[in-house]
Amino acid sequence: TERLLDVENLTVEFKSGGSTMKAVNGVNLQLNKKETLGIVGESGSGKSVTATALMRLIPSPPGKITNGKIHFNGRDLLAISEKDMRNVRGNDMSMIFQDPITSLNPVLTVGNQIIEVIQAHETISKKDAAAKAVEMLKMVGIPEPEKRLKMYPHEFSGGMRQRVMIAIALACNPKLLIADEPTTALDVTVQAQILDLMKKLQQEHDTAIIMITHDLGVVWELCDKVNVMYAGRTVESTTTRQLYEKPLHPYTWGLLESQITMGTQEQQRLPAIPGSPPDLTMPHSGCHFSSRCPLATDICRSKAPDLVEVQDNHFVACHLQSKEQIVARKEGIFNA
Q: How many residues of this chain interact with Mg ion, rule: CB under 5 A?
A: 1
Of 70 and 300, which has the nearer Cβ to ligand SF4?
Answer: 300
- What phi, psi does 320 have (nearest 5°)? -85, 85
- What phi, psi does 332 have (nearest 5°)? -55, -40
Residues 188 and 42: their CA atoms lie apart, in Å, by: 19
Q: How would DSSP label each residue in 235-249?
A: EEEEEHHHHHH---S
The window from 104-112, 118-126, 262-270, 314-322 that contacts ligand SF4 (CB under 6 A) reads 314-322
233-239 and 19-32 as β-strands: parallel, antiparallel, unpaired?
unpaired
The residue with its CB nearest to Mg ion is 48
DSSP letter (8 states) at residue 283: -
Residue 24 interacting with ligand SF4 (CB under 6 A): no
Of 163 and 288, which has the nearer Cβ to ligand SF4?
Answer: 288
Of 156 and 289, which has the nearer Cβ to ligand SF4?
Answer: 289
Binding mask 45-64 for Mg ion (x = CB under 5 A): ---x----------------
Binding mask 168-207 for ligand SF4 (x = CB under 6 A): ----------------------------------------
> Hey, what amino acid is at 301?
R
Residues 113 and 118: their CA atoms lie apart, in Å, by: 9
38, 182, 254, 305: which one binds ligand SF4 (CB under 6 A): 305
Of 56 and 288, which has the nearer Cβ to ligand SF4?
Answer: 288
Do residues 206 and 199 lie in contact, with contact meaning Cβ atoms separated by under 8 Å? no
The window from 62-70, 159-167, 201-209, 315-323 that contacts ligand SF4 (CB under 6 A) reads 315-323
296, 307, 323, 330: which one binds ligand SF4 (CB under 6 A): 296
Of 278 and 305, which has the nearer Cβ to ligand SF4?
Answer: 305
Do residues 177 and 4 lie in contact, with contact meaning Cβ atoms separated by under 8 Å? no
Count how many residues are written for the chain: 336
51, 114, 300, 310: which one binds ligand SF4 (CB under 6 A): 300
Residues 336 and 332: their CA atoms lie apart, in Å, by: 6
Q: How far is the CB of 10 from Mg ion (least distance, A)?
A: 16
Q: How far is the CB of 278 from ligand SF4 (least distance, A)?
A: 11
3-state helix, strand, coil in the chain (%, to 5): 40, 25, 35
Residues 35 and 225: their CA atoms lie apart, in Å, by: 8
The window from 52-60, 181-189, 259-267, 293-301 that contacts ligand SF4 (CB under 6 A) reads 293-301
Other Cβ atoms less than 10 A from the Cβ of 154: the count is: 9
Binding site residues, ligand SF4, CB under 6 A = 250, 287, 289-290, 293, 295-296, 300, 305, 318-320
Binding site residues, Mg ion, CB under 5 A = 48
